[in-house]
Amino acid sequence: MRKIIHCDCDCFYASVELRDDPSLQGRPIAVGGAADRRGVVATCNYEARAFGIHSAMPTASAMRRCPELIVLTPRMEKYREVALQIREIFGRYTSEIEPLSLDEAYLDVSNCSDFQGSATRIAQAIRRQVRGEVGITISAGVAPNKFLAKVASDWDKPDGLTVITPAQVDEFVLGLPVKKIHGVGKVMAARMAEHEIYSCADLRVRSLEELLTLFGKFGHQLYDYARGIDERLVKPHRERKSLSVETTFAQDIVGVDAAKAAVSDLFVELEKRLRRAGDKRFSGAFVKLKSADFRQTTIDRRHDGELSLALFEGLLEEAWPRMAAALRLIGIGVRFSAEEEQMEKSVLPYFREEQLDLFSDLD
């Protein structure tokens, strides 16, 4: 039986800012882009969440909900520094660490001998050390597999610890709402509700064939998760499959020539990021466009040769007739030849966020 811990920092970017500036304590704060430049909220503290503010919300909308909201510019280098401190604490107990982002990771402590092998006591020690040494709080979930550990870490936020023992798995899962399953968002939950599926207990009465018919290949996961089954291993090394950069413009881009100029700037940034990524084989390239009225299209083409600005300009010209409108966002990127899907995305120039494999970037 595996012993998995999922650790998730509480309001990570905001917590770091509050730690570094105690005068902000008790006030609603968000970290993200400026409202007058079409910025979005990366994260916010619980005082801000009380107003209905959440991640990915346009900053302008957040300000309307809470005029007193303090919006702070992201400090990615500081967040990476803090993430490295936290990873060092994880490493005291296991080398089996799978980062999901700067602020969360899976740990397999099945072979850890500390605290007589108690995963619960290891999680308690990690949370205590993060609070004492780093100055922020972290929530954790302990369970026999990744699915349940992730659900558990979100069960008692902030600054919580939830443990699901093997003997408790069946009872816990039966009462679990489907919206708690990773991958079940509002749209999927609504689809499930149409078939009177609201909990894992409801999923259990459906055959695998029914779930595959209703939800495609995701039906396999739903079938297993409804029984508390997740055989995925904690994987310390994950291969990035794609890398992209994109810009949300302060003012809409009008005309294909202006769009090409933006692609030129993005291509310079993409080359920088690719040099950081190291020697990787390309399997494709893509351009993403989003119009002022939020329509979106992506042109994706196989490509295993040298990258060039002309390649992305050609993809832009191919995508342009689909939109034929002012653009609020342009993105370009490449896909690598890799077995596991991993996306790193940089939003420029108003907000930059790096995700998924940044623990490895800190090595």
- Residue 258's H or E segment, with its range, is helix 256-277
Q: Are 55 and 103 in contact (CB under 8 A)?
A: no
Active-site entry in 17, 96, 104, 344: 104
Long-range contacts of 204-213 (CB under 8 A, 24+ apart): 204/174
Token pair for 129: 């050390």
Active site residue 317: no
Q: Is the Cα dihedral 117, 123, 128, 131 positive or negative?
A: positive
Cis upstream peptide for 177 (omega within 30°):
no
In this structure, the number of other CB atoms found within 10 A of the CB of residue 207 comes to 10
Question: From CA 229, how far away is CA 345, in angstroms rounded?
Answer: 31
Token pair for 256: 């294909």
Q: Which among 174, 166, 182 has a CA at the least distance from the CA of 200?
A: 174
Binding residue per annotation — 279?
no
What 3 state SS string does 188-231 have?
Answer: HHHHHHHCCCCEHHHHHCCCHHHHHHHHCCHHHHHHHHCCCCCC
In this structure, the number of other CB atoms found within 10 A of the CB of residue 251 comes to 10
Strands (E), the chain: 4-9, 29-32, 41-44, 70-72, 97-101, 104-108, 138-143, 161-163, 242-253, 282-291, 296-302, 327-336, 343-348
* b/e code 40-61 from CB counts within 10 Å (16+ = b): bbbbbbebbbebebeeebbbee
Binding residue per annotation — 159?
no
- Residue ranges for the known binding site are 8, 103
- Residue ranges for the known binding site for Mg(2+) are 8, 103
Residues carrying an active site annotation: 104
